[in-house]
Structure 1
Amino acid sequence: MTAGDRTKSLVLLGRFGAPHGVRGEIRLQSFTSDPLAIAAYDGLTDKSGTRHFRLRAVRPQGKDMLVAQVEGVDDRAGAEALNRVELYVARDKLPAPEEDEFYIADLIGLRAETADGVEIGTIIAVRNFGAGDILEIAPAAGGESLLYPFTGAVVPVVDIAQGRVVITPPAEVSAEPDLH
């Protein structure tokens, strides 16, 4: 298995943050639909698959953060060493998505096209800067990435089986003030 195949078979579930206290607890951002469910996953690894993690316990801290106890991490220095480490799980350890559902990781590499079948490019990332998910698309013709809001209006079709999404680009908004 190549590094690219291994990365494609992994799904990002969370990211460690700063230490919490002096006994090895660490902040954890969970990307699972139920944030506390991250502790139930067996087989958490880093992106390379060489480091394995077992979460002994997690508890909420504030709106978007958890505090975790990681097996083998018993002091602040051990927690500091994990800061910004991302937690992945093998794709085959996840339940199959429901009909009309998918994992965000399944979108990476899909062809983006118009409703008429004209290729726009390939999805290279799904971003979220706080106002919702955004598809980052590498244009088929080259050049800078294109960004589209991942909404039902802009992306009315997600067809994982056919390896494509349909994009209905929103009307452009002019930044020029209307002086009339």
Structure 2
Amino acid sequence: MPAPEEEFVVIAAVAGAHGVRGDVKIKPFGDPSQVCSYGPFLDKSGAVILTPTQAKPGPNGTVTLRLKENLTREQVQAMKGTLLHAPRSALPELEEDEFYYSDLIGLTVEGLEGDALGKVKSVQDFGAGDLLEISGPDGVWFLPFTKAAVPHMDLAAGKLVANPPETIEGDEDKDP
């Protein structure tokens, strides 16, 4: 088990059971060919949840795992949606201008004029590209994670500058 001060990064989520022998299908949040190279999968406190012994690519970017743990299909199905973590120290070194999505969580979001818009709560992808989920004074809202919508990030300062779209295309004619 990693040291208690070790930082953990979410690298995959359980997508469900595969077959009848307790194999698990996961959705990796990075390179599917590397997801099993970081050691056993941990929970957010660092406890081992799953230990893959064999991995093979599945459909739609999933990976099917054979496990050291002797789980039933029903036990694996009950884990659907469980986030799988790895110690940050086990992940590859990043280039100077690279970052992990987990580095964005908690960043302060400012508008172009320096006005406070909220904090990054999570990074989501619903199929049309990455979105930053931002918790602000007016509630939760989503910002496309593009260069146009996020023209500047300063991880060291803990903030990003947002240029939120004024309207969503097709929304102009709708009554409030």
- TM-score, structure 2 length as denominator? 0.84
Identity of aligned residues (%): 34
Code of the residue aligned with 2:14 in structure 1: it is F
Structure 1 gaps of 5+ residues are none
Which SS does the other structure have where 1:40 is aligned?
A: helix
Give 1:112 shift: 0.7
* 1:62-97 deviation digits (Å, cap 9, x = unpaired): 122221111123643453353332210122322332
Whole-angstrom distance in 2 between the partners of 1:94 and 1:43: 13
Which of the residues 119, 126, 131 maps onto 1:129?
Answer: 126
Which SS does the other structure have where 2:118 is aligned?
A: strand
Whole-angstrom distance in 1 between the partners of 2:119 and 2:33: 33
User: Corresponding residue for 1:155?
Assistant: 150
Whole-angstrom distance in 2 between the partners of 1:28 and 1:74: 15
User: Corresponding residue for 2:25?
Assistant: 27
Matching of residue 106 in structure 1 with residue 69 in structure 2: no
The count of corresponding residues between Structure 1 and Structure 2 is 170
Match runs of 1:44-123 below 5 Å:
44-73=41-70, 75-123=72-120
* 1:122-163 deviation digits (Å, cap 9, x = unpaired): 111111111111111122xx2311211000110011211111
Whole-angstrom distance in 2 between the partners of 1:36 and 1:124: 28
- TM-score, structure 1 length as denominator? 0.83
Structure 2 gaps of 5+ residues are none
| Root mean square deviation, CA, Å | 2.3
Confirm or deny: 8 A CA contact 1:133 1:150 kept in the other structure. Answer: yes
